[in-house]
Chain A
Amino acid sequence: MLRQSISFQLNPDSGVPAYLQLAQQVKQAIRMGILDVGDKLPTVKEVVAEVAINPNTVMKAYWQLEHEGLVEGHQGVGTFVSRRPSGPPPDTQARLARRLERWVQSARSEGLNDESIEAMLRATLSGSRVERTA
């Protein structure tokens, strides 16, 4: 078992730069309550030893999170979670995720395939964005 607080995984085919994938995984861990304010992120060495990537990629991910005000780096000590990303608390997220899951199940049972579901979700998201800015 790994001793560090969270583990990472990279998808090289996703088209999302590796440093953004790492930053997103940290954010997701904070949103889900796996990491809390004051918790230490894995060290650069721990991350590269786990996922075999360039150390600068990890530093870039941590700088990005620092820039967003979510973590603070302390020279020689480590990087710590300093704030939760904006958005509802973990239990609200979990509740919404369960409702979405039920919705996806019913959409599939009505004969919608995943491609149509994704298209519908994108259209709904962009539609509501238009309304908000209008």
Chain B
Amino acid sequence: MNVRDVLAIHTTGLGKRYGSSWALQDFSASVPRGHVTALVGPNGVGKTTLLKLLVGLCAPSAGEAEVLGRVPQQSEEFLASIGYLAQDVPLYKQLSADDHLEIGARLNRDWDATAARARLAALRIPTNRPVATLSGGQRAQVGLSLVLAKRPQLLLLDEPMAALDPLARREFLASLTAAVADEGLSVVVSSHLLHDLERVCDHLILLAASRTQLCGDIDEVLAEHRTLVGPRRAVNEIEPRLTVVKATQTPRQTRLLVRVDGPVLDPSWEVTEVGLEDIVLAYMEQDEELANGQLVEIGHAQ
């Protein structure tokens, strides 16, 4: 099979520069089709820029991207297969969901307003009132129904749940996963809500310091990381097979979060599994320390 048929997204050295500063640099990743991918990373790391590059809203300054086997561009043909929901769900505040669906029908060749209306009716969201009068959760659902009405093959969502309360978030995710189960579409969703993402996503892109630090299947990411706790020792005395992501030293104890490529053999370590949230936070912290030129060293032994 052609690689283009199995990959939703493929980028090599992708970068975007505004003036003299890079908003995204050297981003290389592959995301297979049919997955729900979490796009995580600290603020300002380039998540929004990446999504805009993938949907063709801006042109790369370096590298290249292929989305569903094509170079992203603002052409009708390319955009027909992409659903993009920008941050803060941009809707026309004075127009109703019905109005939006009507506009969508005029602007899109393949437009499934019936399914969108059925979804909104099932959620008991009024479709005849200006969207400004709806709650944040209801507006997010309207936005999602609109992008799904395009029957996209790939859905790109930028912080869709940032303003939602826990119940609205759960309902939004339920609508999203139901659509994935129904249509078998690929999704990339950027968010800080790791707890929510962990149950919904099966793939992860972790952006840090404007570079990809992790990109892969979440089960594999979990299998590759472990916490090691043992008597204090210097980080350079540790088996070279272990990549230290985070080291916390006290005068007596060393606690490490490591990336492993097999079982940890040294019996003096107590080895435990580590959750996705802790892995992501460890990479984000590492990033911050590299930026500040610091090393984690608690309670220096003299």
User: Residues of A with Cβ closer than 8 Å to B?
Assistant: 10, 12, 15, 18, 44-45, 48-58
Contacts and interface: CB of A to CB of B under 8 A. Distances in A.
Contact of A54 (B36, B182, B273): B36
A54 B199 contact: yes
B195 A49 contact: no
Contacts of B173: 52
Contacts of B180: 48, 54-55
A52 B202 contact: no
Given A10-B199, A57-B202, A52 B174 contact: yes
A50 B201 CA distance: 16
B195 A48 contact: no
A110 B229 CA distance: 38
Contacts of B174: 48-52
A53 B181 CA distance: 10
Interface in B209-237: none
A57 B181 CA distance: 11
26 contacts: A12-B198, A12-B199, A44-B181, A48-B177, A48-B180, A49-B174, A49-B175, A49-B177, A49-B178, A50-B174, A51-B174, A51-B199, A52-B170, A52-B171, A52-B173, A52-B177, A53-B177, A53-B200, A54-B36, A54-B177, A54-B199, A54-B200, A55-B177, A55-B181, A56-B35, A58-B181
A56 B200 contact: no
Interface of B: 35-36, 170-171, 173-178, 180-182, 195-196, 198-202, 273
A69 to B, nearest CB: 24
Contacts of A18: 199
B55 to A, nearest CB: 23
Contacts of B201: 54
B51 to A, nearest CB: 20
Given A52-B176, A55-B177, 15 more contacts: A10-B199, A12-B195, A44-B181, A48-B177, A48-B178, A49-B174, A49-B177, A51-B199, A52-B170, A52-B173, A52-B196, A53-B200, A54-B180, A55-B180, A57-B199
